[in-house]
Structure 1
Amino acid sequence: MAVKRLFQKLVIGGLNIAFERHAHAMTQPSIAFVSSDTPEARESASLLTTRYGQESIENADVIVALGGDGFMLQTLHDFMNTGKRIYGMNRGSVGFLMNDFREEGLRERIDAAVSEAIRPLRMRAEDMDGKIHEALAINEVSLFRQSYQAAKIAITVDDTQRLTELICDGILLATPAGSTAYNLSAQGPIIPIDAPLFALTPVSPFRPRRWRGALLPNRVTVRFTVQEPEKRPVNAVADHTEVKSVRCVDIAEATDRTATILFDASHSWDERILAEQFRY
């Protein structure tokens, strides 16, 4: 009888261990790896796929993006409103939106990661032929002069014209996620990712020379109206989408669209913002 009871305990104990392992596996997020076309990113994707497996894109809980910030932007666009979380690892040249690349401990890093929701801008641009173009921008919507002559742009915020004429190379409206990209290069402010703000930043302003832009609530609608558009043509860009020869551009937050990005808890977006502001 003692041997029988011992055998039963061993069997039941084995079943419990197997069940616990199965339950643990069930709680682990399923992962799909995507990569940019660079050899380094492709090689990393192959290594990680061999180590962690590859779930189908449709069934994955987490998309691991291997590349640089540009590839991360494209991945966020591709999976917007799908509910899938995007965890990036840097295999590119910049990587401000990416986590450091390490082959070990990926599942643990994803489990401990901090989740941030990103809402893009919606651009509605009218070109010189009266055609309407719409596009989303996770980083910024920018206007740039198309010729040797400076652009002349009027700025309206919620139906009130705030600047009748900005003479410049261009202007941009950036989200918090985009505030560390081209906006920062144009001397615009860095914005915490959860701040309800946009950065309105001129590019090489000539008149008014001392105007350096503005911080705007994210609930406003901004309109850029191009002055003398035939003589001073201007292009509009929303992330990767460019519209030639625009007459006016309306920009507002796309409240119906969301993308979710994951950052390592040890190197969160807030920490990156602080580090960037104290960099010298």
Structure 2
Amino acid sequence: MTAAERPTALLASDTEAAQQAEAELRRSYNFVPLAEAEQIIALGGDGFLLHTLHGMLKGRRILPIFGMNLGTVGFLMNEWQVEGLRERVDAARAFKVAPLRMEAVTVDGERIVHPAINEVSLLRETRQTAWIEISVNDRVVLPQLVCDGVLVATPAGSTAYNLSAQGPILPLGSNLVALTPISPFRPRRWHGALIPDEFSILFRAIDPTKRPVSAVADQLEVREVETVAVSVDRSIELTLLFDPDHALDERITMEQFIA
């Protein structure tokens, strides 16, 4: 069975453009309910794609996704067009992406575990700067980072918030994650680090009562955290499908040359 012959579900964001595109595709192709599908066509922007991926992670039924951009940036999406959809899906290149696993413990002792496809961010909650201790593989590597925040980004997410925070772009297959400070005050000369993706990273909020810190895993926020452990979850593989001339690895590489 070719990719185009597999039962396919069609999902769209609630924007007017995505809804109109959905109606146009349904007039041209046959789709099945999500529960019967073996792959997904997603219409929207990067945020909608992340929302769809997290929905699959929550349900533990993970399907390949071919996204088409009807949002703003669409870095993780293919170009929108109606014609030749089956042929495009057949010719698509598959990229495997492993998410991060965030385990946050709040000052009240609540434990929250959540995946992140792009990044896990720690952010100050008040006007007070955050004081954060950073450990890698149980070794304290930075006793005190005074900052607005700090994040860990995957290669797929390295061109998002991480890049805006002056973090490095990571090619797919680099087996690295980016550890990037957000507006660091002390130490001034520390601009982050590249960490092998089999390592674990632990953040500890110093004085979390006076200087409260929140943790954000993609779109989920946990307030007033005391510790946040981050690692790559190799037990999960997400599959993104791309047109050969718009492949994710090439996009990430070319982002390094955009001024």
Partner of 1:66: 43
Secondary structure of the 1:45 match is helix
Between the aligned partners of 1:178 and 1:273, the Cα distance in structure 2 is: 10
Secondary structure of the 2:245 match is helix
Partner of 1:197: 176
Instruction: Write out the 4+ residue segments of structure 1 that deviate beyond 3 Å after TM superposition.
Output: none
Secondary structure of the 1:211 match is coil
User: Residues 83, 148 of structure 1: CA spacing in aligned structure 2 closer, same or farther, 3 A cutoff?
Assistant: closer
Matched, 1:53 2:30: yes
Matched, 1:173 2:179: no
Between the aligned partners of 1:275 and 1:221, the Cα distance in structure 2 is: 29
Matched, 1:184 2:179: no
Once the 2 structures are TM-superposed, how far is the Cα of residue 82 of structure 1 from its aligned partner? 2.7
Partner of 1:156: 135
Once the 2 structures are TM-superposed, how far is the Cα of residue 194 of structure 1 from its aligned partner? 2.1
Gaps of 5+ in 2: none
Once the 2 structures are TM-superposed, how far is the Cα of residue 93 of structure 1 from its aligned partner? 0.7
Q: After TM superposition, list the pairs within 5 Å mapping 1:1-280 onto structure 2.
A: 28-80=5-57, 81-280=60-259
Once the 2 structures are TM-superposed, how far is the Cα of residue 79 of structure 1 from its aligned partner? 2.3
Between the aligned partners of 1:238 and 1:267, the Cα distance in structure 2 is: 27
User: Residues 132, 83 of structure 1: CA spacing in aligned structure 2 closer, same or farther, 3 A cutoff?
Assistant: closer
Look up the equivalent residue of 1:69 and give its one-letter code: D
Between the aligned partners of 1:50 and 1:203, the Cα distance in structure 2 is: 47
The answer to whether the 8 A contact 2:162-2:180 is kept is yes
The answer to whether the 8 A contact 1:154-1:164 is kept is yes
How many residues in Structure 1 have an aligned counterpart in Structure 2?
A: 257
Between the aligned partners of 2:11 and 2:4, the Cα distance in structure 1 is: 22
CA deviations over 1:58-88 (Å, ceiling 9, x no partner): 2222201100000001111222453421000
Between the aligned partners of 2:89 and 2:182, the Cα distance in structure 1 is: 38
The answer to whether the 8 A contact 2:135-2:201 is kept is yes
Greater Rg over alpha carbons, structure = 1
The answer to whether the 8 A contact 2:7-2:38 is kept is yes
- Worse overlay, 131-140 or 269-278: 269-278
The answer to whether the 8 A contact 2:45-2:73 is kept is yes
Once the 2 structures are TM-superposed, how far is the Cα of residue 27 of structure 1 from its aligned partner? 6.6
Once the 2 structures are TM-superposed, how far is the Cα of residue 29 of structure 1 from its aligned partner? 2.5
- Worse overlay, 267-276 or 205-214: 267-276
Between the aligned partners of 1:27 and 1:144, the Cα distance in structure 2 is: 43
**Between structures 1 and 2, the one with greater helix share:** 1
Between the aligned partners of 1:196 and 1:101, the Cα distance in structure 2 is: 31
The answer to whether the 8 A contact 1:225-1:249 is kept is yes
Between the aligned partners of 2:173 and 2:90, the Cα distance in structure 1 is: 21
> Structure 1-normalised TM-score?
0.89
**Between structures 1 and 2, the one with greater strand share:** 2
Secondary structure of the 2:36 match is coil
Between the aligned partners of 1:255 and 1:278, the Cα distance in structure 2 is: 30
Secondary structure of the 1:169 match is strand
> Structure 2-normalised TM-score?
0.96
Percent identity between matched residues is 50
Between the aligned partners of 2:160 and 2:179, the Cα distance in structure 1 is: 13
Between the aligned partners of 1:276 and 1:198, the Cα distance in structure 2 is: 17
Once the 2 structures are TM-superposed, how far is the Cα of residue 189 of structure 1 from its aligned partner? 0.7
Secondary structure of the 1:58 match is helix
Secondary structure of the 1:65 match is strand
Gaps of 5+ in 1: 1-22
